Copies of this chain bind each other. A is one copy, B any other.
Amino acid sequence: MTHPLVEQIVAAISRVAGSPPVPLHAPRFGGNELAYLKECLDTTFVSSVGPFVDRFERELAAYTGAKHAVVVVNGTAALHIGLLVSGVLPGDEVLVPALTFVATANAVAHCNATPHFVDSCEKTLGIDPQALRTYLERNAEVRNGCCLNRNTGRVIRAIVPMHTFGHPADMQGILDVAADFNLTVVEDAAESLGSTYHGRHTGIFGRVGTLSFNGNKIITTGGGGALLTNDVALARSAKHLTTTAKLPHRWEYRHDEVAYNYRLPNLNAALGCAQLEQLPVFLAEKRRLYKKYREALSGVVGVRLLGEPEGCVCNFWLQTLILDDDVAVLHDSILAATNDVGLMTRPAWVTMHRLPPYRDCPRMTLRVAESLERRIINLPSSAILGSEGAL
């Protein structure tokens, strides 16, 4: 027999999202996408340089308020290079949330550094700065300007706050801890294009911030990402490292560092420019969708729909339902029931410290992250579901 709560949730999603099949998040191409792609073909500029690359970088910087943007092949590449240019060295540790997509931890590993997992805050789903401070006071110390992990003897070089499903983390709290423990802040804003924290766009609080334009994100380039920074030297260094460190010359192929081929093709940047033009519409629709879900779920006891933390504007990239503790046992039943009827939902990620490659990494107590992992369900979140013409 199906639990009444499961039925109530299926019914609420149905009322908002309409007839199945409903994907979790479909991109929408209602603007200049085809025209810009055609322009790439007509000019033959489809590859690693081109006017759309430059334009996309300019427009991302203007939109977010960062002084510089460097576009790259995806969000993982952005974070990898963001960590490198921020000074993360092989053998370092980097604080990352346990509750995140695996790319956050992988990017640290790609630097030959070790992720060190941090607990989450029930309200923001991001890093909990209070719990982290207490933990660091007991387990770390600043010596010669570096934060040392007393247990491993390694330097904790940086911290990577991530804005979960578009909800801004407690940046002020995190910046304060980072300042007190000499940690470089590299902000993983992969999911939060369009979200602001106290009036400033997410991704511009640290030394570097990163974005993702994967197919499931609020805007997409097919695959793509970007680094954001206010530091011109870091921006130059990021551009250099992501373009094989080639020195400018009329014909010579000379490179001065071990570097990467992380360039975003002009073809993908063209898609990004067209998508960015529509971002204000997508944001309005996603906000309207949030309100529709809030209304549809208002009578349902045992769940809450994640809203905006105080002082924050959320892009509502993925609508997020959080089960109360006493109904957490229904988590998988709800996922099964919704997906069975073609209303696509998903849980949060398996927390990083439970994945085989990261099982032995250092970590604090991860009580809240583990609890959230058992209680989060993302609802169908395509912008079109919140459009004026929708149900």
Q: Which residues of A contact B (CB under 8 A)?
A: 26-29, 33-34, 37-38, 40-41, 44-48, 73-77, 101-103, 106, 109-110, 112, 214-216, 220-223, 244-246, 250-261, 263-268, 271, 335, 339, 345-350, 355-357
Contact = CB atoms under 8 A, between A and B. Distances in A.
Nearest to A256: B356
B223 A259 contact: no
A263 B41 contact: no
B44 A29 contact: yes
Contact of A26 (B44, B77, B106): B44
B38 A253 contact: no
A174 to B, nearest CB: 24
A186 to B, nearest CB: 17
A106 B46 contact: no
A257 B44 contact: no
Q: Say how many copies of this protein the assembly contains.
A: 2
The 4 closest A-B CB pairs, nearest first, are: A47-B215, A222-B265, A222-B267, A76-B261
A254 B254 CA distance: 41
A257 B268 CA distance: 28
Given A106-B260, A261-B103, A215 B46 contact: yes
A87 B223 CA distance: 28
A265 B223 contact: yes
Contacts of A347: 251-253
A245 B263 CA distance: 23
Contacts of A38: 34, 37
A48 B345 CA distance: 19
Given A46-B220, A223-B265, 9 more contacts: A33-B41, A34-B38, A75-B261, A77-B261, A103-B244, A106-B261, A110-B258, A223-B264, A255-B355
A220 B267 CA distance: 11
B214 A48 contact: yes
Contacts of A110: 258, 260
A57 B65 CA distance: 41
A73 B47 CA distance: 12
Nearest to A358: B258
Contacts of A335: 250-251
B73 A350 contact: no
Is the contact region of chain A dominated by helix, strand, or loop, or is it mixed?
Answer: loop
Nearest to A73: B73
B223 A48 contact: yes
A355 B254 contact: yes
**Which among A47, A76, A252, A256 has the highest number of chain B CB atoms within 10 Å?**
A47
A194 B33 CA distance: 32
Given A109-B258, A220-B46, A222-B268, A253 B27 contact: no
A271 B106 contact: no
A259 B250 CA distance: 37
A347 B77 CA distance: 30
Nearest to A265: B222
A29 B37 CA distance: 12
A47 B348 CA distance: 21
A252 B256 CA distance: 42
**Which among A28, A106, A245, A349 has the highest number of chain B CB atoms within 10 Å?**
A106
A76 B259 CA distance: 10
A215 B76 contact: no
A223 B263 contact: yes
Contacts of A346: 251, 253
Nearest to A250: B339
Nearest to A215: B47
A348 B264 CA distance: 25
A251 B37 CA distance: 33
25 contacts: A27-B46, A29-B41, A47-B222, A48-B215, A74-B261, A75-B261, A77-B261, A102-B253, A109-B258, A110-B258, A112-B112, A215-B265, A221-B265, A222-B265, A222-B267, A222-B268, A223-B263, A223-B265, A252-B350, A253-B346, A253-B349, A256-B355, A256-B357, A257-B357, A268-B268
